[in-house]
Structure 1
Amino acid sequence: MKISNLVIENYRNIEKVDIQLGSIATLIGGNNSGKSNILRAITLPFLSNDIGYNGKNLSWFDINNVAKENFYEYIFNNQKEIINDSLNQDDFAKMLPRVTVEVTLEPKDTELYFVKDLSYEDDKNDKISYGIVYDYFPKNIKDVLARVKEILMSQEIKKDSEGNLDKEHIETIKMNLLPIDLYTHSIKVPKRDISISYDTLKFFKYTSLIAERDEFSQSAERLGSKSLVKLLQMKLNTDSKITVEKEYTKFFDTLKNLSGMDSIINWQEDSDIENAKDFFNKISILPNMPNMNSLLNSVKLGYSGEHLSFQGLGHRNLILLLVLLNSFIENKKDTAFSVVTLEEPEAHLCINNQKLLSSYISKFAKKENSVQLFYSTHSTEFINKLDFNNIVIVSEGNALSLSSELTDEGKDYLSKNPNLDLYKLFLSKNCILVEGLTEELFIRAYFNSKESLSNIDVISFHKGYTNIMNIWIKLNKDTENRLGIVRDFDNQDEAQKKHEEYNKYNNICVRTTNEYTLEPEVVNTGNNFELLKKYFENTFSWKISDSTDLSNQWRNAKSTVMLKLCKDISTNQLPELEMPKHIQEIIDFLSPIRQPLSFEQGDEPDDN
């Protein structure tokens, strides 16, 4: 079983996310983008267990700020109607913020029993949909409206001539105007408004391994004990517990015999005291077996024959994750499906241990088990470039799944790109995409010679940018990030026209060479011919007749020639070299001094 689709509305910085999911989900994005919020939200529809428990009742701070601001604006504009009871209650209900998290479940045939009460619709192919929806909402709309009216009427200060509160005063009573104490939560079947029973929910569980898991490694007393004890409890059935008790009794008997305690307690055998034997014969040493929890709490993880507390922080985190993840691989009789959320698996790990854990996670995803893993990462080591169906890109509370945003051809194209870095590609403040390593080296060298341009990433990406730009626009439409595209003409008028249509977005700049490739474009710019002619003749003893000859020799030269040129450019040995017009326009577009960005209505990229 797996979650095939996830919808989140109004949870923290997420207004609405609707994404398809693979067997495993890798969330990538910058700090404060919403990755952790997605990981927390996805656990809300499921019954919790003790590892990483999160409460199901939310707080005022868990509700999306935009939804709250829209509600407060509505209150401000309808104060009179609220106070004189003329406000339409249905309209008020629509404006009240509520948090929903809906998961669509995709069971195997052998798992249909567990989801038989979670079905809600059939599609045109008679495929049944199964799901769970968590809803955090006002218990009674009328009570909330009455509370808001009471608060508005109680405020006797800062009212205008018509008796309305000003916006500044409303800002000071926001939390009271949205009374969370009148909210509740429900877990139901989507579109059917039917509550899900405990007997059904008990088959679904989650485990959250948060980024702040260093507490696990703080001391020998606490080192993994809670997590380890929970795992041991899950693994021990009744027969196993009986065996533990028998073995404890055997251990006690052995200890009693070795210590000679009988001779100390039963001293009456050698006593002349009358009736001593009858009295003291009833004294014995009994096993004082602690309860199972106490026994398990004495167990600690170790590594290489030593307590884990003697290992480095990275090793301790690695062992914790491997032990916990491995415990979920086996199907459990009392669990139909488990969600495991993991934040930053790379935390404290060296590159070798990152590769070890990354390989384990890849194998974890391929195993036939009842567990689905969701994890966030800032490390490219944990991004599977051979399966982009598992990648979800998160930015500013928005999320896009590459499984639905890219065609199979597009995914294959990304997989074959040797320099792919999804973080730089989609999340850099300033990024330039070029078609080959020559352009990348040349532009990087120029940037290295100009300290003010050091905040621009350059990625060689070959050809075909339209799918990439579609995703980039969706992720960055509300950010200050900018993207530049450098294209070779290659005698392809239609391709140039198709790509340059993206110049309508004011945070994308697409430019194409006038010449067939980059080299003649550079040579024919400004005074570059004389400058480069002198450089190549002095450095490589070339014989150069004209600009065409120079361009051809440069284009056909070995890579060591380009590398030497770029090194000299980066160390300012060619300070007068000018960038070709199409590249300089992109550099100017990405320069630090620029106008604020804004999107015109309707400037959404096509989905195809």
Structure 2
Amino acid sequence: MYISNVTIKNYRGFNNLKIKLSKLTVIIGENDTGKTNFLRALSLPLSNNSLDYNQKRLSVPDINSNCIKIFYKSIIEDEDQEIQLKKIPKVSVTIQFKDVKDFYETEIVHKWLTDADGEPCYEIRYDYKPKNDLDLLLNVKDMLKDCNASEESKWFTLPVEHYEYQIISSNNEKQISFNDLKHVVINTIPAERDDFSDSNSMKANNILTKLLVNTLDDSEKNNINSAYTEFFAAIEKTDTFKKILSSDADFENLKDYINQIECIPNLPNLRNILSNITLGYGDDFLYQKGLGERNLVFIFLLFAFYKSTQKSFNLCCIEEPESHLSINNLKLATDFIYKSVNKSNRLLQTILTTHNPTVINKLKINNVVAFNGTEAISLTDVSQNLLDYLRKRPNFDILKLLFADKVILVEGPSEEMLINTFIQTKVNSLNNVEVISIGHKGYKTFLDIWLRINKNNSAKKIGVVRDFDNQQKAKEDHDVYDAENENIVVRTTKEYTLEDDFVRAGDNCKILSELFGTEIDYDTVAQSMKANKTGGMLKICDAMLSPDKTFDLVLPSHIMEIVEKLK
């Protein structure tokens, strides 16, 4: 059983977000595209774990500001009341459960059975809306009566005291009781977890206490309670305790009262007993260790805690598992998460957000959902070619490809060195171009996935530098991307490879012949470069960056056109 679909309306930056999830989902995106807000939205219809309490009653900043402005504009422009009522800002988060298999899973969700696109599913919805639409409308009309233009209204003045929240079953619009909701739980490991083992907050101790309470059997609990009682009995036997409770010899009749006093444990429940544990790490307290070590232990402990609960459906959300982790610890953490998810029970679903390509490549690109600020794009159906490529190159930075503002894809390191060096010589402009060597000739797989995220986004541009290699059909196939997309530039060498075009640009042949000690001949100089491709290009780049240079090499026209287009 897992949450398969989520629809979020008018919550924070989301206007109408629809997203498909899997048993394991990895969410990627640039800063401020809604990754954290998505996890917070999920906490609204689900039961919250006390480790990460989220209030379900919203405030004005939680409501999409644009929909408030549209509502205010409708009132100021005096549209029909029926239209104004339809434009009242309302927040909703709808989630669907699918793949419900056995009797126990069915018992958790059976009251929420409905139909979605002809298939049975189980659906609940969080609503935050006015108790009475007309009362809110009249209040806002009175508030805006002196406003002559929508620009004068302040969206943050929406009177949310008229609002209330409820969690309902979509099939009958009836409110869901706490007893029914408590078996669908969301647990979040937040990105801001630096105080996890801080000596003041001691969240680590709280987590360990909950983990122990959930997993200790009755026999172990009885042994702990007995040991706790014996601890107080040992206090009674101390000379100091006896001295404190000795009777006053001046008052003989006090003895009868004093002798009845004994040391009884104060509220001896298991949670209170275990809460006195402080975690150590090696010879130190955990809070004395570095942030990276503490965060690694945090992930291990919390994920183990969430996995241990098998009586409820658990949605475990981990924000940026890479936070403060070294290369080795990140590898441990991602391997732990990957294997734990694969071995977990059917009632555990996991969502991660990340900015790290190592996490993506380990947990697989077809588990990724990409946020671009306006929509969430699922990559579950990426081509097998891309999956195979990433398996062969596990350190490939897919995030640079998808989210850099300007990207140039090249076949190998020679083009990569040349373009990066050329950009570096432009001292009066900042370099915001990522040059990525993909290591083979086919670019279509990369352009296809790039378009999934960035199509029609004028702020994002990608260029492709190709060698002709006497492959006219391949050139035509790639030129289609250039013709059909304004933010894609594809250029191919006129001659066979980069070296052939490079020596024919400007006075390059003469300059390079002197650099390599060859005769001034196109084919001879090009062949000298091809004989030692990366070594020769490194020599060229060093010469381009030399403060004593007396020449200017010119980029081949196919590369120069891409650089100009990406400006």
On the 8 A contact 1:120/1:128 being kept in 2, the answer is: yes
Deviations 1:319-370 (A, max 9, x none): 222211111222433x1x1112222222222222222222212222212223
Out of 282, 288, 296, the position equivalent to 2:265 is 288
Greater shift, 44-53 or 512-521, is seen at 512-521
Find the counterpart in structure 1 of residue 106 from structure 2: 112
Distance 2:502 2:72 in 1: 57
Cα–Cα, structure 1 residues 221 and 527, in superposed 2: closer, same or farther, change >3 Å? Answer: closer
Amino acid at match of 2:460: N
Distance 2:62 2:128 in 1: 10
Question: What does 1:370-409 align with in structure 2 at a 5 Å threshold?
Answer: 370-385=347-362, 387-404=364-381, 406-409=382-385
Out of 340, 345, 352, the position equivalent to 1:364 is 340
**1:311 equivalent in alignment to 2:289:** yes
Deviations 1:423-445 (A, max 9, x none): 21111122111122222122222
On the 8 A contact 1:51/1:227 being kept in 2, the answer is: yes
**1:512 equivalent in alignment to 2:492:** yes
Shift of 1:529: 1.5
Question: What does 1:45-444 align with in structure 2 at a 5 Å threshold?
Answer: 45-77=45-77, 79=78, 81=79, 87-89=80-82, 91-110=83-102, 111-121=105-115, 128-153=120-145, 155=146, 165-169=148-152, 171-172=153-154, 174-176=155-157, 178-190=158-170, 192-220=172-200, 222=202, 224-235=204-215, 241-257=221-237, 259=239, 279=256, 282-292=259-269, 293-333=271-311, 335=312, 337-369=313-345, 370-385=347-362, 387-404=364-381, 406-417=382-393, 420-444=396-420
**1:42 equivalent in alignment to 2:25:** no
Shift of 1:580: 0.9
Amino acid at match of 2:87: M
Amino acid at match of 2:420: R
On the 8 A contact 1:53/1:208 being kept in 2, the answer is: no
Deviations 1:43-92 (A, max 9, x none): 22201121111111222211223333333333333x2x4xxxxx252x33
Match of 2:349, SS state, is strand
Distance 2:7 2:222 in 1: 46
Match of 1:372, SS state, is strand
Find the counterpart in structure 1 of residue 526 from structure 2: 551
TM-score normalised to the size of structure 2? 0.88
Find the counterpart in structure 2 of residue 484 from structure 1: 463
Distance 1:74 1:213 in 2: 43
On the 8 A contact 1:43/1:339 being kept in 2, the answer is: no
On the 8 A contact 2:405/2:433 being kept in 1, the answer is: yes
Amino acid at match of 1:26: V
Amino acid at match of 1:287: I
Deviations 1:197-246 (A, max 9, x none): 33321111112222222233432563523333333443456665444322
Cα–Cα, structure 1 residues 453 and 49, in superposed 2: closer, same or farther, change >3 Å? Answer: closer
**1:9 equivalent in alignment to 2:9:** yes
Find the counterpart in structure 2 of residue 562 from structure 1: 537
On the 8 A contact 1:266/1:280 being kept in 2, the answer is: no
Amino acid at match of 1:231: L
Match of 1:117, SS state, is helix
Distance 1:300 1:56 in 2: 32
On the 8 A contact 2:410/2:435 being kept in 1, the answer is: yes
Distance 2:179 2:86 in 1: 33
Shift of 1:37: 1.0
Amino acid at match of 1:532: L
Greater shift, 289-298 or 317-326, is seen at 289-298
Cα–Cα, structure 1 residues 274 and 218, in superposed 2: closer, same or farther, change >3 Å? Answer: closer
Instruction: For structure 1, list consecutive stretches of 5 or more residues without a partner in the other structure.
Output: 82-86, 159-164, 538-542, 592-608
Deviations 1:160-183 (A, max 9, x none): xxxxx22332x24x344x432222
**1:584 equivalent in alignment to 2:560:** yes
Match of 2:111, SS state, is coil
Cα–Cα, structure 1 residues 471 and 308, in superposed 2: closer, same or farther, change >3 Å? Answer: same
Distance 2:209 2:251 in 1: 51
Distance 1:69 1:465 in 2: 44
Distance 1:318 1:445 in 2: 39
Cα–Cα, structure 1 residues 167 and 548, in superposed 2: closer, same or farther, change >3 Å? Answer: same
Shift of 1:531: 1.6
Deviations 1:281-310 (A, max 9, x none): 843423233443432331111111432222
Deviations 1:531-574 (A, max 9, x none): 2222222xxxxx55731233234224354333333333344658
Amino acid at match of 1:528: N
Distance 1:42 1:464 in 2: 40
Distance 1:8 1:249 in 2: 52
On the 8 A contact 1:22/1:389 being kept in 2, the answer is: no
On the 8 A contact 1:318/1:353 being kept in 2, the answer is: yes
Shift of 1:486: 1.5
Amino acid at match of 1:168: E
On the 8 A contact 2:18/2:375 being kept in 1, the answer is: no
Greater shift, 527-536 or 189-198, is seen at 189-198
Shift of 1:457: 0.9
Match of 1:130, SS state, is strand
Distance 1:240 1:215 in 2: 31
Cα–Cα, structure 1 residues 252 and 506, in superposed 2: closer, same or farther, change >3 Å? Answer: same
Match of 1:187, SS state, is strand
Shift of 1:262: 6.1
Find the counterpart in structure 2 of residue 602 from structure 1: none
Instruction: For structure 2, list consecutive stretches of 5 or more residues without a partner in the other structure.
Output: none
Shift of 1:467: 4.9
Amino acid at match of 1:431: V
**1:28 equivalent in alignment to 2:4:** no
Shift of 1:581: 0.9
